[in-house]
Chain A
Amino acid sequence: MPPIINPELCSRCGMCVDLCTEDVFYGSEEGEIPNVTFPEECVHFSGCVYECPDEAITLRIPLPMLLVYKSTPTGR
């Protein structure tokens, strides 16, 4: 589900909980590894990924959102 937190790297600072506008991490406890409570409300802007001081967050793009592309140039 969208943001994935690596517990080995996370320093439990709460930066992502503080910044996420959609409040995907709602209900997370201070000083604990954040809980991804509402993953389906993630808007995939990667704010949490780039603000995390521990580089502990990755974003997994849901399957329905995968880009569609062609492996060769058009018309060739």
Chain B
Amino acid sequence: MTEDVVEADVLCVGGGIAGLMAAIRAGEMGAKVVVAEKGNARYSGCGRSGNDHFEAYIPEVHGPEVDEFIDELLKTAKGEIHLGRAIFQAQFARTLSIVQLWDKWGIPMRYQGGWEFAGHSFPGRTMTHIKYEGRFQKEVLVRQARDRGVEILDRVMVVDLLRQGDRIVGALGVHTRDERALVFKAKSVILATGKCSRLYPSLTPGWMFNDPHGGVQSGDGRAMAYRAGAELQNVEMPQRHIGPKYFAKFGQASWIGVLKDPEGKPAGTFVQKPDRKYGDMILEVNKLVAEEQSLAGKGPLYMDCTDMSEEDHGYMMHWMEHEGNVSLVDHMRDEGIDPRKHPIEFATYPLRAGGLVIANENAETSLDGLYAAGDESFGDISAAATFGWIAGENAAFGAETLQHPGLDSQAGRIKEAETFMEDLRRRPQGPDWKETNVALQQVMNDYAGMVRNGALLEQGLSHLRRIREKAKDELIARNPHELWRCLEVMNLIELGELVFLLALDRKETRGLHRRPDYPFTNPTLDKAHVVRSVEGAPHVEWRSYQGGR
């Protein structure tokens, strides 16, 4: 395997919204910035083909008290995130300036000349999200990054971080289309690889990549952060989403309709008829509603938009296209499905991995020189944009004068990783990535689903460890594309094992982690469940952050 060395002040791992915003800010501060992106930054990440909602605190609308805004926001589902209030304060101190920047760069953040608040909010309460036309946002961000001298390396997967003492000094990567390895000598690394798909089965078991996040977000950042010794949080807490049945897409707040049962009775209590301002908040209050109703013999549930006006229909389809759902809109057109006439079935989507890389309000992780932003740490578009910006600023600060210690101490680690990749490519036969991924999804689904107990988790963990050993010794990659997928699957297995370990340690029922052997929520565990690797073994602790979640 040949090896190229790339030097940078700041390496951004992932070219989604957070990675590009980090690169833009670090670039304009004068740092030498490289973005390593597994796919093409123009079409990568959750924002790849658009978004239409941006959480924004706008003082002229919301008044001078940001804390009131934050309190309202925390009422809508944020999952189990324990990072402290300082995170939200840092985000909303900057959202207006980020919104103004995006607008100036050519991502339209205003609608018909003003702020358009709609969706993700309860009727009669503070509106927290502005509508924006994000369909071409990635194109704009890529251009802004390049204008600031940022080098974007598409088709490069970062495989592992390089650590010297308590400091991250670079990373190892591999091209996804040929046999070249890349050694990054970087003063700071920003992890922005997004969420974690493909750990659990998809909505359509035969189509693994039918995932609203896209298929290649395989938790690479959190897996490599863990291996390097950084702290992760609440990895065992699963998340679920709700949306159109079988065509897995985000955009719950873009629908102007009412979620109804077959008799036409609303499933929730928030709206009785389609409302373009609010959508139906039942989708955010209880994402399990479709599954629960179905299991109770009261399904299926439909998103019923049939009572909406012509104007609302035009409005909804406009925003659907900006929300990245142009393929869904095309599919409806091709199949003659018209939301004005046809209620569309909604389903609760399968489990997906939760958890995050712990980063503070400065986007710093627990390791020097390592930052995390976006879904890697603390999600949604607004947070990705804001903490990307913050990470880039802090990573670039003082980079010019900082001395890099060199990579002499890393030779053994680099050789080990390269040898593993060469082994995968040389093996004549064995399970490929897909077979291994299916085996992983099977064990996650059956032993670490929503309902778990000690015996189930112990059995699943030991089975997963057998799969892991076999994968390590037998996995094959017939070409560089398969090698990329194999490395993703190894990351997924790493995270799957952590799900089991932390689920065993969480002796309570909370959220979607349901343990009949510990059926109550333990209020003393209203904390972050933190794990890090100490000399190769997981070290787990509970930690409180100032100001609650």
Contacts and interface: CB of A to CB of B under 8 A. Distances in A.
Nearest to A47: B43
Given A46-B330, A61-B247, A74-B304, A69 B337 contact: yes
Interface string A22-58: 1100110000000001101111111101100000000
A21 B481 CA distance: 12
Contacts of A66: 246-247, 335
B264 to A, nearest CB: 2
Given A45-B324, A68-B246, A20 B43 contact: yes
Contacts of B262: 74-75
B358 interface: no
Interface in B42-61: 42-44, 48-49
Interface residues of A, number: 35
Contact of A67 (B48, B209, B247): B247
Contact of A74 (B211, B214, B263): B263
Given A46-B327, A61-B331, A23 B177 contact: yes
A73 B261 CA distance: 11
Contact of B207 (A19, A37, A62): A62
Given A69-B344, A73-B343, A21 B209 contact: no
A26 B177 contact: yes
A71 B176 CA distance: 45
Interface string B27-42: 0000000000011101
B361 interface: no
Given A19-B43, A45-B48, A62-B204, 5 more contacts: A21-B40, A40-B209, A45-B214, A61-B327, A66-B246
Interface of A: 18-23, 26-27, 37-38, 40-47, 49-50, 59, 61-62, 64-71, 73-76
21 contacts: A19-B40, A19-B42, A21-B39, A21-B40, A22-B214, A41-B209, A42-B209, A43-B214, A44-B327, A45-B324, A47-B43, A50-B326, A67-B245, A68-B246, A68-B300, A71-B342, A74-B260, A74-B262, A74-B263, A74-B304, A74-B343
